[in-house]
Chain A
Amino acid sequence: MKTSVEPTSNNTMKVSSNAFKTAMKDLSVNRNLYIMLFPVVLYYLLFCYKPMYGILMAFHDFKPSKGILGSDFVGIKHFINFFSSYNFTMVVRNTLLINFYDILFAFPAPIILALMLNEVQNARFKKICQTITYMPHFISLVVVCGIIKNLTESDGLINDIIVFMGGERTSLLLRAEYFRTIYISSGIWQHIGWGATIYLAALSGIDQELYEAAQIDGASRFKQIIFITIPSIMPVIFIMLILRVGSIMNVGFEKIILLYNPATYETADVISSFIYRKGLLEFNYSFSTAVGLFNSVINFILLLSTNHLSRKFNQMGLW
């Protein structure tokens, strides 16, 4: 999609004075809008741009009493420490794998749920389903992890079922090979309903005439989903996907540290839990900042490249 290009004048002097006039006019016309915008801009300046100064910590040996610039400048020492650390390959691999599986399984789940809910004829039933599926989203993560621990321990419900089916009791959270499955499936359970709302909103915006036309042409309900519903919400899906890929190096550390233990470090330890241990528990803010910065740069590159690819192949992107 193209953004319209403003007509330009030949005379540069004229342009600047014209531009100023237009800006002032715009300001007075849309005054209320700008007033509404102001707190938002302020929020970003204060909480997002101002703290960016803290990135400098990554290049210093930060000591609170000396301040950031007062601390010794050490260049890229912390980055070298991270790249050469024993954990480096493991945490990067785990972070990428958890996100990869998450995109593979957890990303399509709310789309499928939204499509199914969209086909439900009984409005009451649909509402009930929606409410039930998005309720878990509001449960505190600590509680969710407590439930997961109870269900997966060696005398928990899941093990009872396994034994009933003829299997053997094992504590599932102690098996490194099951960690991702538990992590992602519980994530789907918790967030599927919440994630579906945005797709439901997109679905409600589809022109009903399209369906009527398709019915007249004799398309089955399944054909209607394939050829009308999915293409109509495709832009939303792609935007969500680009955003998701953009955070491929991020995994929330809270759930990880609530669920992992020494037996599952090899699949469970991720960059964010590593940062948490280094920064908050070991008081090594500079090192943590360096790792965080590395993380953000990779995310940024990934976001730009997926957007680029999306524009190339689908003619749409975030910008």
Chain B
Amino acid sequence: MSVKSIKKGFFFMVGLLMAATIISGCANRGGDNQKSTSSQAITTPIGQYPIETEETLTYWGVLNTNTAKNYTNFADTPIGKELEKKTGVTVKYIHPAQGQQQEQLNILLASNDYPDIIESNWTSGYPGGAEKAIEDGIIIPINDLMKFSPNYERELSGIPGLDKMARTDSGKYYVYATIRKNYEESIFWGPMFRKDWLDDLGLEPPTTIDEWEKVLIEFRDKKNATAPFAVRANQANGSMLLYGAIVGAYKTELSWYTDNDKIYFGPYDPQYKDFLAIMARWYKQNLLDKDFPMADKKSIESKVLSGKSGAFIGLIGSEMGTYLRVMQEKDERFDLIGAANPTLSKDEESFSGAANLPFYYYFAAAITTHCKNPELAARWLDYGYTEEGAYINNFGVENESFVIEDGVLRYTDTVINAPVEENMLARYDRFNGPYVALILPATSEQTMLPQQIQAREAFKKNMPVYRGYPPLTFTVEESERLSNIMNNINNYANEMRTKFIMGTEPLENYDKYIEQLKSMGIEEAVKIQQDAYIRYQNR
């Protein structure tokens, strides 16, 4: 090979390189919004199923990880098939790759070629929120379609305050969200301990921060736990499982929270420093998992199951339940117990906790501007809010996975007695989506271990008030300003929290950190949030 020919080849490669680096983004497809040209009038009366139609719908949404163990497409699941049979509408489901939903959704939105329905977090997940998504011409308000969704409308007025959550400030309804009928029961997570260790050491599940520290020290010294307290810290892995339980003892939160009609940003609070101080102390004393900033569900599982950790903040279902079932065969003594969130003194109530809103908007279905037949979409989506539809989405197929005896819904033996590997329960549960989510005492008793029921009861003490973030809406200018400020601040606060806890940044610099937050515009962000919160309350 001569030098000259190599050179020529590389000249070409330079061309490739330059062109490739310069390109960003995708070609323009022009704004050809095919507005709904309702093809065929539907003759079936509203609220009656099956709907007589030849048309089909396309539906973009995440396939739940539990479902994905057995099926690659929702249409193949027993629920998907039953829904098709009962509603008479064939739906083509499109699922993004696991863990890449946000990227894939954003690419889909940029393509300007949307399916009829997109299931996503339109309330806080789309930059700028629902109002912006409507203005950007992605989804349509469903106020005019409500007449096709009488069941959804009824459910919205069924729980006080729910209707307010479902609207934007300007009164637009925009999604079919999951409605948690008995939301007081939907408690999913909280602090958990190795019960067998506590018993060995003669300890009770701790209720205050001081007791926590004592228990963790015992775990470290007497049980050789190398990472006594394991937490998930990465925001991407679900912020509620951060140190949510601990931070509440200091009357603050890890992000935005509400208290007495005011909205606060936890990492900007003075008392947040005390939380950092205790975490830093635990880190220094080897009580907190040394690898915590990188921890994820898998690493925590391996730490708990291998006896490196004795305390963690976990989910009742997929963590507590799984661990107990896995360890049943390996170690008979392995046992877990749930405890209420800790407080500073004995007689206090926990500030933060597991309470939820009845309006669960993370997997809410919106009808897009490209939907060929919005009426059909609205009618089809409404089915999840009928009693029959809710049962199918929650419990599967009647007389196959559940039966109703004397008005009580129970799982059949084929589901309950199936081996764990068959994943039967998950096959007959949709987990998230546009329908009424139900938790029935009879089925809980059938499916949950006694430890899980105990944990749920323990966690119920946690929180009388929902302090989380209500579904606020912002104006376009506000949302742009807010995302500009908060993108930087979230990153910075996250980084600094990790550094303060690891001690790479001394806590004496907390004032400097607060100053930095100020210079990054936190005050303005708080004001925008506060304004939106006032508007929300006045809805």
Contact = CB atoms under 8 A, between A and B. Distances in A.
Q: DSSP majority for the B interface?
A: helix
A278 to B, nearest CB: 8
Interface stretch (A24-32, A120-128, A148-156): A148-156
A65 B137 contact: yes
A100 interface: no
A15 B426 CA distance: 78
Contacts of A236: 3, 6
Interface in B1-37: 1-4, 6-7, 10-11, 13-31, 33
Contacts of A67: 28-31, 112
B499 A54 contact: no
Interface residues of B, number: 63
A54 B24 contact: yes
Nearest to B23: A51
Contacts of B126: 283
B464 to A, nearest CB: 32
Contact of B136 (A64, A86, A289, A319): A64
Contact of A262 (B16, B369, B498): B498
Contacts of B15: 44, 48
Interface in A82-100: 85-87
Interface in B469-501: 483-484, 487-488, 491-492, 494-495, 497-499
Given A153-B291, A235-B3, A262-B494, A57 B24 contact: yes
Interface string B164-208: 000000000000000000000000000000000000000000000
A169 to B, nearest CB: 7
A263 B498 contact: yes
A51 B26 contact: yes
A44 B6 CA distance: 20
A312 interface: no
Interface in B409-447: none
Most chain A CB atoms below 10 A, which of B2, B17, B492 = B17
Given A68-B28, A282-B487, A247 B110 contact: no
A171 B109 contact: no
Contacts of A224: none
Contacts of B3: 235-236
Interface in A217-269: 235-236, 239, 243, 246-247, 250, 261-263, 265-266
A52 B293 CA distance: 39
B103 A281 contact: yes
B17 A246 contact: yes
Given A243-B10, A243-B14, A64 B504 contact: no
Contacts of B29: 67
Contacts, number: 175
A204 to B, nearest CB: 9
Contact of A66 (B31, B109, B291): B31
A296 interface: yes
Chain A interface extent, by class: 35 or more
Contact of A154 (B112, B290, B488): B290
Contacts of A64: 109-112, 136-138
A31 B24 CA distance: 35
- In this complex, which of B15, B17, B21, B103 has the most chain A Cβ atoms within 10 angstroms of its Cβ? B21
Nearest to B3: A235
B28 A69 contact: yes
Nearest to A56: B28
A20 interface: no
B25 A51 contact: yes
A164 interface: no
A174 B290 CA distance: 9
Given A53-B28, A292-B24, A299-B21, A66 B137 contact: yes
Contacts of A75: none
B110 to A, nearest CB: 5
B136 A265 contact: no
Kindly name the residue among B22, B126, B369 whose own CB sees the greatest number of chain A CB atoms within 10 A.
B22
Contacts of B27: 50-51, 53-54
A282 B14 CA distance: 31
A283 B104 CA distance: 11
A293 interface: yes
A303 interface: yes
Given A155-B226, A262-B499, 20 more contacts: A44-B19, A51-B23, A51-B25, A52-B19, A53-B28, A62-B25, A67-B112, A154-B291, A171-B294, A174-B502, A236-B6, A246-B17, A262-B233, A262-B494, A263-B499, A284-B127, A285-B25, A288-B24, A295-B21, A299-B18
10 contacts: A44-B15, A51-B23, A54-B27, A65-B138, A153-B291, A174-B290, A246-B17, A280-B103, A283-B109, A292-B21
Interface of B: 1-4, 6-7, 10-11, 13-31, 33, 102-103, 106-107, 109-112, 126-127, 136-138, 226, 233-234, 290-291, 293-294, 369, 483-484, 487-488, 491-492, 494-495, 497-499, 502, 504, 520
Q: Lowest 3 A-B CB distances belong to which pairs?
A: A65-B137, A48-B19, A54-B25
